[in-house]
Every structure is written in C-alpha cells, then in structure tokens.
Amino acid sequence: MPNSLNPLELIARRWQPSARFVERAALATVVMAVVIVVTGGAVRLTESGLGCDTWPKCTSGSLTPTSDMGIHGAIEFTNRMLTYVLCVVVGVLIIAARARTPVRRSLTRLGWAQFWIVMGNAVVGGIVVLTGLNPYIVSSHFLLSSALLTVAVVVWQRAREGDAEPRGLVARPVRQLTWLMVGATLALILIGTVVTGSGPHAGDAREVHRIPLNWQEITQLHVDFVYIVLGLTVALWFTLRAVKAPAAQRRGVLELLVVLLAQGVVGYVQYFTHLPEVIVGIHMFGSCLVWIAALRVPLGQRERAALPAAVPAPTGDHEAVQPEPAASSR
C-alpha cells in the first residue's frame, strides 16, 4: 500500500533520474569534499579557527557571528554552513541512486556512508573548537575529510559502472605495485597532517598548543615520501607500458605523475618563501588532487558489467520510462 512506503520509495515511483544525473550527483560530492578541505584550510590559514569560540552556536548567546567578531567569525561560520551544503549534495545523490530503476543499492550504501562521515566530522569540528584547536583533533578532522573524499571518488567511479563482480584488467604483480603506490601516497598525506600540526600556522592568533616535534624535520620526511611516491608512480607507468596495458590505464598514471610534479613545485615554493598563506592553501588543494588521482589508478584497473537499461517504475498510471543506453564501464 502507498501509505506503507518510505519517502525514498515514494520519490522513486514519481521520478526516474538518468544515469548521467546520478553520475553528476556523484561528481558533485567529490567537488564538495574538496571544497570542505580547502575552506577548512582557509579557516586555519586566516587564523579564524576560533572565530566562533563555541559549538554548536557561534557564541554562547548567538547562533551566528556578531559584528564585533569581525572577519574571523564570518570565515569560521561560513565554513560551518558549507557542511549543510555538503549534506544537501550527498542527499541528492542518495535520493537519485534510490530513485533509479533498478535500484543501485551499492550507491545508496556509499551515499549513506558519506552522510555519516559528514555528521561525524561535524562533531569532531565542534570538539576542535571546544578544545581550543588541539592539533591532534585538528589532524583527525582533516583525515575524516580525506575519508569523505575517498568514498566520494569511489561513488563517482561506481556511478559509471554496473554492479557485477569486478574483473581485473592487469596481472596481480601490477595490482600489488599499484596498491604499494597508493599506500605510500596515504603515508605522504598522513605525514603532511603532522607537518600541519607542528608547523607555524596554528589556526588562531592566540597561543595554540602544537604537536611537540620539529616541523622542519617532519617536512624533510614528507619530502622523502614525495620522492618515494614519485618513484613508484614512474615504475608503475613503465610496468604498464611493458605489459602493453590499455592506454586509459597508462593515462591515469601519467595524470597522477603530472599532479605530483605540480604539487612538488608548489611545496618547494611554499618552503623557500617561508610558508605564505596563499601558497599553503594551494598546496592543500593540490593534496586533494593527488589523492583523487592516486585512487583513480587502481579503480581504473578493473571493470564491472555495464549498467542495465532503466525500466518503468511500478506505478501503472505513469508514462513508461524510455530505456537508456548502457553506461560504459572503465
């Protein structure tokens, strides 16, 4: 009976999104995940981390920033409001994936995973403020944002595939080298968070506790891992050429190599110019691009069956949905 249907089922009876719409909704979650990372970095780099000095309100007596809080309050509050925009984008993805026939339960599960990561990170963001920008919690805040970006990239890839079991396109040794490269990239990002937690940009003009490490020494370790990731990426590209892998797979590795080199240039510029805020912000944006490019390499080394054509929703009194061409898988 219609009354027993949940809201998502009711929407599915009245709306059939196209495969392209679902794919674009998935891509929008990737874009918003990057925006959250970059704007969160802007909060820290403009010393606005405590622009709203409590949570969930901005002040003890106001939900929004007051005029005497100045630009720092506005920046911090804007970053908080972007969380709601992110929730809307993720919500559109979940609804679109659920409304499409046949139901893509793998996409809806991944969409809900994004939603709960966003909710968890909002709580962690509140703890960051309540603890006065504790560097360890700030690091976990960034890592949760990276987890959100990871799931978003997977959803974006899955939106262009079917739901059959994946079929590998390269030999096991190539996959092992690929995952070694991804693991080294993850270590590179983790070390970068330690550099952030021990470096000079604390997030507020007042004295803020920092990770008690020499940030220049940690930066050198970070640079060492840059060379490790670069070496593994070059080795993977030559390996794919040697085994005559498809051009799309080699192109994915080449794209990662280009992003890594650009990120390396930005990294050296920010170091030798004594960490200007704008360059550091660009470096944070670059770290997102590096992680996206790294994830796309293993995702491009397998394929799933193409999406089935859409079929009419079980309504009986609506026009039949015209079948769509099957989406190609990578």
Domain locations in the chain as residue ranges: 7-160, 165-311
- The closest alpha carbon to 286, from 314, 256, 313, 310, belongs to 256
Preceding peptide of 200 cis, ω within 30°: no
3-class SS of residue 167: strand
d(C-alpha 77, C-alpha 46), whole Å: 13
pLDDT score of 28 more than 90: yes
| DSSP strands (E only) in the chain | 167-168, 302-303
3-class SS of residue 62: strand
d(C-alpha 66, C-alpha 83), whole Å: 20
pLDDT score of 322 more than 70: no
d(C-alpha 61, C-alpha 59), whole Å: 5
d(C-alpha 288, C-alpha 284), whole Å: 7
- Interaxial angle between packed helices 215-242 and 247-272, expressed in degrees from 0 to 180 and rounded to the nearest 10: 160
Which residue in the block uniquely carries the two structure tokens 């509050």? 77
The one-letter amino acid at 257: L
Cα 69–73–78 angle (5° rounding)? 150
> Residues 6 or more apart from 52 whose CB is under 8 A from it?
58, 59, 65, 69, 73, 76, 77, 80, 129
pLDDT score of 315 more than 60: no
* pLDDT tens track for 54-81: 888 888 888 888 888 888 888 989 988 9
Q: On the CB side of 177, how many CA atoms lie within 13 Å of its CA?
A: 18
Query: Residue 5's pLDDT is what?
Result: 63
* pLDDT tens track for 175-233: 999 999 999 999 999 998 888 888 777 666 566 778 888 888 888 999 999 999 999 99
Query: Residue 58's pLDDT is what?
Result: 87
- The closest alpha carbon to 263, from 300, 293, 298, 295, belongs to 293
Structure tokens at 181: 């490269």
Preceding peptide of 102 cis, ω within 30°: yes
pLDDT score of 310 more than 60: no
The one-letter amino acid at 53: D
Model confidence band, residue 53 (pLDDT cutoffs 50, 70, 90):
confident
pLDDT score of 238 more than 70: yes
On whether the CB atoms of residues 93 and 111 are closer than 8 A, the answer is yes
Which carries the bigger pLDDT value, residue 330 or residue 47? 47
pTM of the model: 0.86
* pLDDT tens track for 71-114: 888 898 998 899 999 999 999 999 998 888 777 788 899 999 99
The one-letter amino acid at 309: A
* pLDDT tens track for 277-292: 899 899 999 999 999 9
- The closest alpha carbon to 329, from 115, 148, 166, 91, belongs to 166
d(C-alpha 24, C-alpha 100), whole Å: 14
Which residue in the block uniquely carries the two structure tokens 């969160």? 40
The one-letter amino acid at 175: R
Helix or strand (DSSP H, E) at 8: helix 7-14
What mean pLDDT do residues 43-49 have?
85
Q: How far are the Cα atoms of 44, 72, 142, 285 from residue 205, in angstroms, in the given order?
A: 10, 10, 20, 23
Query: Residue 114's pLDDT is what?
Result: 96
